Amino acid sequence: MKLITRDTDYAIRALCYIAKGKDELVSVSELVRELNIPRPFLRKILQILNNKGILNSHKGKGGGFSLALPPDKIFLNKLLEAFHGPLKLNECFLRKDICADVRTCVLKRKVADIERRVRDDLRSISIYSLLNGGGRKHG
């Protein structure tokens, strides 16, 4: 199982590149050229990020994309959810009708704890922190 898939990786790379440009619009052509991502795939990713309120799309001549949120407000957990839905590690294959211990299952509790820790860690990783070597923004 991959946590960071190709579309999430491309989204992170595109967001980091756009964030480096500060308030400048970044065109799809520039992203394709600089990041070496296939145009049709990148356009789909950018559209999803735009629909989720992570990017702003500016149409017309000189158009492109800009961040809809500051880089320190764009977290990895939201990017993963945008492409794959909520993180779910504890989908028990022993359904309730098969497993009488579904409410008290030790394995299910352990996996739920792992899932919670992973979600918490993903909530702490922002585009800003990726651009700044993991550092937190000081306000």
| Positive/negative CA dihedral, 37, 42, 45, 50 | positive
pLDDT in tens, 15-63: 999 999 877 899 999 999 999 999 999 999 999 999 999 999 998 888 8
The verdict on residue 54 lying in a domain is: yes
Q: Which stretch of 29-33, 70-74, 102-106 has the lowest confidence by average pLDDT? A: 102-106
The verdict on residue 138 lying in a domain is: no
pTM: 0.83
The verdict on residue 113 lying in a domain is: yes
In sequence order, the 6+-apart residues with CB closer than 8 A to the CB of 1 are: none
In sequence order, the 6+-apart residues with CB closer than 8 A to the CB of 135 are: 129
The verdict on residue 1 lying in a domain is: no
Query: Do 68 and 55 meet the contact criterion of CB atoms below 8 Å apart?
Result: yes
Mean pLDDT of 87-101: 63
The verdict on residue 137 lying in a domain is: no
138 falls in which pLDDT band (50, 70, 90)? very low
CA distance 49 to 78: 10
12 falls in which pLDDT band (50, 70, 90)? very high
Name the average pLDDT for the chain. 85
pLDDT at 75 (0 to 100): 96
Q: Which stretch of 13-17, 37-41, 73-77, 111-115 has the lowest confidence by average pLDDT? A: 111-115
The verdict on residue 139 lying in a domain is: no
Q: How many CA atoms lie within 13 A of 52 on its CB side?
A: 20
- Domain residues for the domain of 60 are 6-131
Query: Do 96 and 103 meet the contact criterion of CB atoms below 8 Å apart?
Result: no
Q: How many domains does the chain have?
A: 1
Tokens found for residue 136 = 């937190």
Helix axes 76-84, 6-20, angle to 10 degrees: 130
Helices (H), ranges, 36-125: 39-51, 76-84, 106-123
79 falls in which pLDDT band (50, 70, 90)? very high
